[in-house]
Structure 1
Amino acid sequence: MKVVEEEQLITVMDGPWSPTGLIREIVDSGTQEDPFYIMDLGEVVARYHRWKELMPRVEPFYAVKCNDDKLLVSTLAALGAGFDCASKVEIELVTSIGVAPERIIFANPAKMASHIRYASAMGVDVMTFDSETELMKIKQFMPHAQLVIRIRCDAAAAQCPLGIKFGCDPLTEAPRLLKLAAVLGLDVVGVSFHVGSGASETAVYGRGISLARALFRTARDAGHVRMQLLDIGGGFPGGRHDDIQEVSEVINAALEEHFPIGSVRVIAEPGRYFAAAAYTLAAMVHAKREIAPIESGGETHTMYFINDGVYGSFNCVLYDHQHVKAETLNDNGTPLSECSVWGPTCDGLDCVLPNVRLPTLAIGDWLVFRDMGAYTLPVASAFNGFPVPTVRPVVDARLASILKELRPLTASQFAATRSGATSGPPSPTAPASPHAEASPLPPPARAVFVECALK
């Protein structure tokens, strides 16, 4: 995981603006050749507000592995989110900006001993486990830990299934592990599950919560009297056109049935929900090659080479099973034709889109890729000497006046206000939902902002 220490100023926009409008301004300046992101802080705030509105009982603990951009992490910390960390470095990042250890869960069921010792030294006491060997390790290096048993509960379909690697069987393994933890004198305080990253089934959360309810009783029977935490994991969608209305209804109904208000603390581990739609990538066409049709009368296939690929931002195509969509920055009016999009490296596997239809592009034209904030930057490398894209954070002026007062954000991070880039639809400032793009920013006195200060 890369933690970039250089602080980048947040561009403050006065008036309507859009990511594509800003990209066009930057490209038209004639000085930009490398790929770059526009990061919309307003999208992050809007999604936090939407989460709190739909699931007020469920505390979001952002999954840092999804995107460890320090500004994204700091913004979520300022809003009041907790954090799901999977390693020593992630714990270092979150605690370095002032987040209290009580707002962190060490949610890696298979932890290195040195990482357990570090978590103990930093006061991060809550951690997950799903095996006998992990219990033995925790007994040796952190016997005072507050443990959360992770069970397997897979969605019928998910972008990245996780049950094949983590989670004990809730019916056969979990009761035995709970008894072993009691024999070892370890304190189990809760149950967690993860339905899989990018889950497309909502009913699975109801099954997971029901299984957790039964294990709460089993744990108490085994002597764990401080069962107080339910972690419903991640799997929430994060694209521009996705919403969590349906899944929130399933979760709220299951919580009402199995865990009455006040009985337990409920957290979740959303990652792509907060990160994906906030980042828009711009990449330039720097070369092209035309392949003649094999058969007479066939269509010529054009290969476009762009300055970002599967070793950079588009690692998500290989590792996160994403289906990215290319949009032309400027409509040149040419008809769509068969083509493919390739990354800049010399590896033949560096293919972003093997078969797509786009207008005819010239060298120097730019493509725009939306919803690129999840599982892209943290895995990107400078393989073959091609740089990882830079991030240009942007925020609406009204929202900036609120955020700059919330630690760990500071006024010095916000640049002078400039006029909006009006080309394209306006960016949301803090809408009630991802679909309400023109909704106004909630007034400063809204509770979502009152609760934001770091504790």
Structure 2
Amino acid sequence: MEDHRCQAPLITNESTTVHVLYPESNKVEILDDGRSIRDVIDSKIRECSSVGDPELFYVANLDSILERYLQWVTNLPRVKPFYAVKCNNTASAIRMLRALGTGFDCASKAEIQLALSLGATPDQIIYAHTTKPQSHIRYACTRGVDMMTFDSEDELLKISLCHAEAKLVIRIAVDDSKSLVRLSSKFGASLASAGRLLERAKELGLQVIGVSFHVGSGCTGAEAFKQAIADARRVFDIASSLGFQLRLLDIGGGFSEIGDFQQKFEKFSKVINASLDKLFPPDSGVEIIAEPGRYFVESAFTLAVNVTAKRTVVDDEDSSSDRTIMYYINDGVYGSLSCVIFDPAHCQLEPYLHRAVGSAEPRYQSVIWGPTCDCMDKVMERCWMPELHVGDFLLFDNMGAYSVSLFSNFNSFEKAHIFPVVAAKTWRALNLAHSFGNTC
């Protein structure tokens, strides 16, 4: 019988360079002596303004990631998070999560490469993409990344050729009708086809270890998780009848704790825990994992952008009250603010001025445009704001999810720099010098 296990020569001359979209500070700024995130933002804006060409930037609050991690283990103590690298591939965020002991959900060769280069071990990675290029499967194999998902016979055939020793997780399609971002139309095997796929995996001599699903991002109904876990239980039973001994359940991602979703996360956690205890009790030996992305990083990043131009449009020249002020900033929907178009689960943008604004200062109907030459690059329309001036900075909170990772190079505008910060007590408590390799 031919041995299809991967061999090292498959990746001869492979580059080990890791590409990250956004330029990031080489050092983490440690907050002590009572300094706050706002102090850091103020300092960066002063630095930018002093050079006469203000740049956009992020401040990444690593303590926010710690807070979310502690909330996760409190609410979902049985569920180990595997952070979705696609959500935000900033090195400091990944290093922080690595220090906290999470795993990593990777969707490509480059994401696997990044996670490994920042300290993750192969067994801490799930290659959670059901339609993988063969070269990426081979790369995972040569790096010892064995756990990966599938949802079709064609994927099984590729894996049997490129990574015959893989530990496979069958992804099933579940009801995602209550979610703002639905995924089951693109990914996931139907329940009706699960048995046939498992039989084919057995014929190919492949090892299937678990089941995964994803109810979508911005889920508004807890019952979706209850039904999905019940569907997964059915697949476990089908697999058992075929001789497989499944030992892993992956409940996906899409979690958030911003706005109304804060209460929903607590409610969802209770439903998830109850369903797991009923259908996959602790003594069952089944490991439970999830693939949260936005949950960990959404509130950690604050974006600072600069007003580069303005234009006033007056509908009635005799009435100043009918004027609309259009502002142009140095970031937009082709950059960090792509959530306006691509992420329905992102909470509403609420930019605010960095400088102080008096309560009596008048507000004007305003439009905020991005920097590119495309009229689709509109960040906000018909918002009421005090009059801004060229050179003013606007701040956007909760900008960690699907912002950094969705930046395009359209018009070749500059990318935002990222400045990671952490409290001194967190730095010491987690021994982050070991993970980051610097002290200030």
Compared with structure 1, are the counterparts of its residues 151 and 407 closer, same or farther at alpha carbon in structure 2 (3 Å cutoff)? farther
Matching of residue 159 in structure 1 with residue 180 in structure 2:
yes
Q: Distance in 2 between matches of 1:3 and 1:132?
A: 33
Q: Distance in 2 between matches of 1:397 and 1:19?
A: 13
Q: Which runs of 5+ in 2 are unaligned?
A: 1-17
Q: Secondary structure at the match of 1:381?
A: coil
Match of residue 96, structure 2, among 75, 91, 109: 75
More helix per residue: 1 or 2? Answer: 2
Q: Could you tell me how far 1:379 is from its partner in structure 2?
A: 1.7
Match of residue 25, structure 1, among 43, 47, 50: 43
Q: Secondary structure at the match of 2:104?
A: strand
Q: Could you tell me how far 1:144 is from its partner in structure 2?
A: 1.4
Matching of residue 202 in structure 1 with residue 227 in structure 2:
no
Alignment match, 1:330: 355
Q: Secondary structure at the match of 1:152?
A: coil
The answer to whether the 8 Å contact 1:240/1:277 transfers is no
Matching of residue 231 in structure 1 with residue 250 in structure 2:
yes
Work out the percentage of aligned pairs sharing the same amino acid.
42
Q: Distance in 2 between matches of 1:77 and 1:319?
A: 28
Q: Distance in 2 between matches of 1:305 and 1:404?
A: 43
Q: Secondary structure at the match of 2:421?
A: strand
Q: Distance in 1 between matches of 2:331 and 2:275?
A: 43
The answer to whether the 8 Å contact 1:61/1:268 transfers is yes
Matching of residue 304 in structure 1 with residue 327 in structure 2:
yes
The answer to whether the 8 Å contact 1:87/1:115 transfers is yes
Alignment match, 2:297: 275
Q: Distance in 1 between matches of 2:425 and 2:56?
A: 29
Q: Distance in 2 between matches of 1:7 and 1:362?
A: 29
Q: Could you tell me how far 1:162 is from its partner in structure 2?
A: 0.9
Aligned length: 411
Q: Distance in 2 between matches of 1:277 and 1:79?
A: 17
Q: Could you tell me how far 1:247 is from its partner in structure 2?
A: 1.5
Compared with structure 1, are the counterparts of its residues 120 and 250 closer, same or farther at alpha carbon in structure 2 (3 Å cutoff)? same
Q: Secondary structure at the match of 1:252?
A: helix
Q: Which has the higher contact order (CA 8 A, sep 6+)?
A: 1
Q: Could you tell me how far 1:25 is from its partner in structure 2?
A: 3.0
Alignment match, 2:380: 353
Alignment match, 1:148: 169
Match of residue 87, structure 2, among 45, 66, 71: 66
Alignment match, 2:131: 110
Q: Distance in 2 between matches of 1:23 and 1:240?
A: 23
Q: Could you tell me how far 1:294 is from its partner in structure 2?
A: 5.4
Match of residue 411, structure 2, among 378, 384, 397: 384
Q: Distance in 2 between matches of 1:316 and 1:404?
A: 34
The answer to whether the 8 Å contact 1:240/1:371 transfers is no
The answer to whether the 8 Å contact 2:336/2:403 transfers is yes
Q: Secondary structure at the match of 1:47?
A: helix
The answer to whether the 8 Å contact 1:381/1:388 transfers is no
Match of residue 12, structure 1, among 20, 27, 30: 30
TM-score, normalised via structure 2 length: 0.89
The answer to whether the 8 Å contact 1:305/1:342 transfers is yes
Alignment match, 2:121: 100
The answer to whether the 8 Å contact 2:24/2:419 transfers is no
What code does the residue aligned with 1:168 have? A
Q: CA deviation digits over 1:64-115, x for unaligned, max 9?
A: 0000001111110111000000110111011112311111111000010001
Q: Distance in 2 between matches of 1:117 and 1:304?
A: 49
Q: Distance in 2 between matches of 1:253 and 1:407?
A: 38
Matching of residue 48 in structure 1 with residue 48 in structure 2:
no
Q: Could you tell me how far 1:175 is from its partner in structure 2?
A: 1.5
Q: Secondary structure at the match of 1:180?
A: helix
Alignment match, 1:418: none
Q: Could you tell me how far 1:15 is from its partner in structure 2?
A: 4.2
Q: Which runs of 5+ in 1 are unaligned?
A: 416-455
Q: Secondary structure at the match of 2:375?
A: coil
Moved more, 24-33 or 371-380: 24-33
Q: Could you tell me how far 1:309 is from its partner in structure 2?
A: 0.9
Match of residue 364, structure 1, among 384, 387, 391: 391
Q: CA deviation digits over 1:180-236, x for unaligned, max 9?
A: 111222111110001112322222111111111111010111121x20000000010
The answer to whether the 8 Å contact 2:24/2:418 transfers is no
Match of residue 213, structure 1, among 225, 233, 236: 233
Q: Distance in 2 between matches of 1:222 and 1:85?
A: 29
TM-score, normalised via structure 1 length: 0.86
The answer to whether the 8 Å contact 2:59/2:420 transfers is yes
Q: Secondary structure at the match of 2:270?
A: helix
